[in-house]
Amino acid sequence: MIQLETREQTSRAAVVVAPLTAIAFTLAVCGLLVLWAGAPVARSFAALLEGGFGSRFALTETLTRATPLILTGLAAAVAFRARFFNIGAEGQLYLGALAAVAVGGLHGGAGFAWPLPLLFIAMMAAAMLAGAAWLAIAAVLRTRLAVDEVVTTLLLNFVVLLFVSWMLDGPMKDPAAMGWPQSVALNPALELSKLIERSRLHSGLPTAVAAAALLWAMLKFTAFGFEMRAVGANREAARFAGIPVNMTVIKTALISGALAGLAGAVEVAGRTSYVTLDMSPGYGYAGIVVAMLAALNPLGVVLAAVFIAGMFVGADSMSRAVTVPTYVADVIVAVSLLAMLVAAQLVRYRVRWRT
Amino acid sequence: MSAPVLRLSLITKRFGTLVANDAISLTLARGEVLALLGENGAGKSTLVSILFGHYLADEGSIEVFGQALAPGDPAAALAAGIGMVHQHFTLADNLSVLDNVMIGTEPMWKPASDRGAARRRLLDLAQRFGLAVDPDASVARLAVGEKQRVEILKALYRGARLLILDEPTAVLTPQESESLFATLKRFVADGMSVIFISHKLDEVLVAADRIAVLRAGRLVAERARAATNKAELAYLMVGREIAPPPKRSARQRGPAVLESSNVQLRDGGRSRLAAVSLAVHSGEIVAIAGVAGNGQGALAELLFGESTPTQGTLKLNGAAYPRTPRAAVTAGVARVPEDRRAQGSVGDLSLWENTAIEQLRSPPFARFGLLRRGAMQTFARTLVTQFDVRGATHGDALDTPARLLSGGNLQKLILGRALSSPRAGPRLIVADQPTWGLDVGAVADIHARLIAARDAGDAVLVISEDLDEIFALADRIAVINHGRIVETRATADWTLAELGLAMAEKRAA
């Protein structure tokens, strides 16, 4: 039998060594897989790194991918901090994207006839509102009727995807798309500016990083952030101390949903220009991994998102260089997450083997 | 003298740097009742957990009926004839008494269970030892004393010849305790042996043949009952002379701070409080005595501002009673909850965050939604000094997570937090089991502070299951039974027996 015992004191060294060990373990496991695929391990890892971070192109691609991941990662991190398990960032992202196009793309392909700055703000606000409102359904069900939010947020994702599919084939269909399920395009004037010439990197990245910094400061310096952390750490004690637990959960859900909705708007305005059914390769779900990898720390979310984006971008180019399937990226991300979680537990607990 | 039934040799158990049991050797004879006496944290529960196989000793060995006992294996302990009655019962509430007794005694592959034979055996045991139970009653409906009887029968049903009881009287009324001790006498007359754990001096002197005193993990003394007395045991248990309880100044009580008249609390059709009429005045301590689960929790919830009465009137200083926890704090209610870890503190937040949490949104600690961290930390620093909260050992002490504090220090922090809130006029202090599970030093400290608050004019309501504590603290004692305050008298007008009767009296719920 295995037992976990709490360590009396967590050593500083362990805090540093544990994640490094986790990374080493991940590399070892993936090295075996690469060997199994019949490719040279060293060259494969080199290709992976090179492809993810090794050139200007690789870096900008990675950061472009990381942008929505930071936002969905923050959406998960902030909700999980208050122990509200939002698994539905994917759906909130799509609704945000639809809302952005509804404000800034419909109505004759140019959005509402408002002054451009106002229209831009309205577009972003609509996306955040859409995400927040959608998650509010699950939050209210949870706080009023004790319906498990893991189930509701997950299932509401499918509702959104069907809704998007209907929109793209119906009211928001792009007549010029030759039958492809694709929305009308955003007013080009509303698109986010490019950060670097001849790359896809756009101003969504600094926006996402700013959101992370803002969230970090909110958790640390505001009364609401304190309440959120208290509710997440011990709901019963928070209630006893006079913190309005249900209200805190609902407010947290609104922030989380808004962040995921913003991710959708940033993708449309920064990268795709229109909504398609495959515009997100699971950014909403990957956001959960990002948040867990970052131990729910908003600043850590930025790093974790860049790491995961780099692995995916790098794996694409690795599979072209050597004969290793791109799925290796999924394995790396999954193993690293598990290894990190185990490492984090080992810092707090020690394992006892009993016969 | 025949060979001992049980022989513990040099049992040592460490948890990290803490030595919970330090080379303890003990024997138990056939037909003997041995009491393990010690304060909380002395190592009594650890020792019996090792004996029953819940823990694995780091060193030492155990012999039962002359055979070595396989360590760390409850199944082996059961097979060797050891039965254990835990302090917190291990019964399945949704099953009947008979089912609970039979659980785990029949092989899985047996197609049908022989309930008839099991019932006969259970009734036979019950009759032989005077433990009346109804085999078909649902365990959820049983009173605490009855549940304990089921636990004991469960152990006997499995053929226990050596019975271990962990703090068996903690949940019983004085009368129920007496009947338990009578049952133990029957066991030993039948040739069985009993170990029971206690920290109450009076009862070990009544019930045990021999008393082993544990202190800080060491076996400090073994005495035959006839060869010792209360004063010696107290000295052995604590390791120093115990200061006499603080002298209580006779004091004029002031106006009523809390007034409750015929208050009822229902929760989805279930009555949790049936009729609570009670007043607590400035300058007095009123204690609520009762058997666990008779409405104490609901009463505390009400006074903490966590729920509102379904009927009746509840007043604080003549005004309507606050309806939320935050309003209660603002109105000057000092609250000490029953469970300091689950309710009283957020373990993962720092010590200073825990001191400020009740007044989080008040102007000194937050402005425009921004925390004033400096002010919060200054407040915490003062509180920690003033209330002598220790245990923050490394780095900046105030940043220590609250979960690392010992029970006593955590309780001092919670009491300090409650007594440091701003006040206008006398406070109402509501303390639910304020010293549960604390060592003697911490208990004395908490009691002294409650008495000091009373002397300063606060109105104190103590809810406790510890009658010693109630008699030590209270000016008046009110008995709660089935959600009713059945009787309130000045402490001097109660005898222990009368109090027990009032607590145990059966009435229609």
Q: Smallest CA–CA separation between B126 and chain A, in Å?
A: 36
Q: Which residues of A touch B326 (CB under 8 A)?
A: 242
Supply the pLDDT for residue B212: 93
Which residues does residue B280 pair with via DSSP β-bridges, in sequence order?
B258
Q: Which residues of B touch A251 (CB under 8 A)?
A: none
B168: pLDDT strictly greater than 50: yes
Is the CB of residue B72 less than 8 Å away from at least one CB of chain A? Answer: yes
Q: B72 vs A224: CB contact, 8 Å cut-off?
A: no
Is the CB of residue A82 less than 8 Å away from at least one CB of chain B? Answer: no
User: What's the whole-number average pLDDT of chain A?
Assistant: 88
Is the CB of residue A107 less than 8 Å away from at least one CB of chain B? Answer: no
DSSP assignment of B335-378, as one string? Answer: EE-S-TTTTS--TTSBHHHHHHGGGTTSTTTEETTEE-HHHHHH
Supply the pLDDT for residue A64: 93
DSSP assignment of B74-105, as one string? Answer: HHHHHHTTEEEE-SS----TTSBHHHHHHTTT
Q: A226 vs B17: CB contact, 8 Å cut-off?
A: no
Q: A240 vs B373: CB contact, 8 Å cut-off?
A: no
Of the pLDDT bands very low, low, confident and very high (cuts 50, 70, 90), residue A3 is: low
Supply the pLDDT for residue B394: 47
**Helix A56-81 with A283-293: angle, nearest 10 deg:** 80
Is the CB of residue A221 less than 8 Å away from at least one CB of chain B? Answer: yes
When pLDDT is averaged across residues B224-245 and rounded to a whole number, the result is 78
The owner of tokens 């029971």 is B196
pLDDT tens, position by position, B219-228: 998 999 889 8
Report the residue of A219, A234, A245 to disrupt the B interface, i.e. the one with the largest count of B CBs within 10 Å. Answer: A234
Q: Which residues of B touch A8 (CB under 8 A)?
A: 16-17
3-state secondary structure B288-321: EECCCCCCHHHHHHHHCCCCCCCEEEEEECCEEC
pLDDT tens, position by position, A267-281: 999 888 888 888 988
DSSP assignment of B181-208, as one string? Answer: HHHHHHHHHTT-EEEEEE--HHHHHHH-
Supply the pLDDT for residue B422: 77
Of the pLDDT bands very low, low, confident and very high (cuts 50, 70, 90), residue A2 is: low
Q: A237 vs B369: CB contact, 8 Å cut-off?
A: no
Of the pLDDT bands very low, low, confident and very high (cuts 50, 70, 90), residue B392 is: low
Query: What does the DSSP 8-state code read for residue B403?
Result: G
Q: B342 vs A237: CB contact, 8 Å cut-off?
A: yes
**Residue in chain B lying closest to A350 (CA):** B16
CA-CA distance, A256 to B169, in Å (whole number)? 51
Supply the pLDDT for residue A251: 96
Which two three-digit tokens encode residue B254? 């002031």
Is the CB of residue B329 less than 8 Å away from at least one CB of chain A? Answer: yes
Secondary structure of residue B432 in the 3-state scheme:
strand
3-state secondary structure A204-234: HHHHHHHHHHHHHHHHHHEHHHHHHHHHHHC
B396: pLDDT strictly greater than 70: no
**Residue in chain B lying closest to A237 (CA):** B343
When pLDDT is averaged across residues A308-327 and rounded to a whole number, the result is 84
| Residue-range domains of chain B with CATH | 6-238 (3.40.50.300), 245-332+426-509 (3.40.50.300), 347-421 (no CATH)
**Residue in chain B lying closest to A11 (CA):** B394
Nearest CB to A223; choose among B16, B349, B361: B361
Is the CB of residue A163 less than 8 Å away from at least one CB of chain B? Answer: no
Q: Smallest CA–CA separation between B268 and chain A, in Å?
A: 15
- Angle CA B270–B271–B272, to nearest 5: 110
User: Are B237 and B261 in contact, with CB atoms under 8 Å apart?
Assistant: no
Question: What percentage of chain A has pLDDT greater than the value 90?
Answer: 50
Is the CB of residue B335 less than 8 Å away from at least one CB of chain A? Answer: yes
Report the residue of A2, A7, A240 to disrupt the B interface, i.e. the one with the largest count of B CBs within 10 Å. Answer: A240
**Residue in chain B lying closest to A231 (CA):** B346
Of the pLDDT bands very low, low, confident and very high (cuts 50, 70, 90), residue B509 is: very low
A201: pLDDT strictly greater than 80: yes
> What's the pTM value of the predicted model, to 2 decimals?
0.80
Which two three-digit tokens encode residue B121? 């055996």
User: Are B402 and B346 in contact, with CB atoms under 8 Å apart?
Assistant: yes
pLDDT tens, position by position, B99-132: 888 887 777 677 777 888 888 988 988 888 888 8
In residues, how long is chain B?
Answer: 509
pLDDT tens, position by position, B2-55: 678 889 889 898 877 778 888 899 999 998 999 998 877 788 888 888 888 888
Of the pLDDT bands very low, low, confident and very high (cuts 50, 70, 90), residue B250 is: low
More confident position, B62 or B395: B62
Half-sphere exposure of A84 (CA within 13 A, CB side): 37
Report the residue of B301, B360, B406, B430 to disrupt the A interface, i.e. the one with the largest count of A CBs within 10 Å. Answer: B360
User: What's the whole-number average pLDDT of chain B?
Assistant: 86
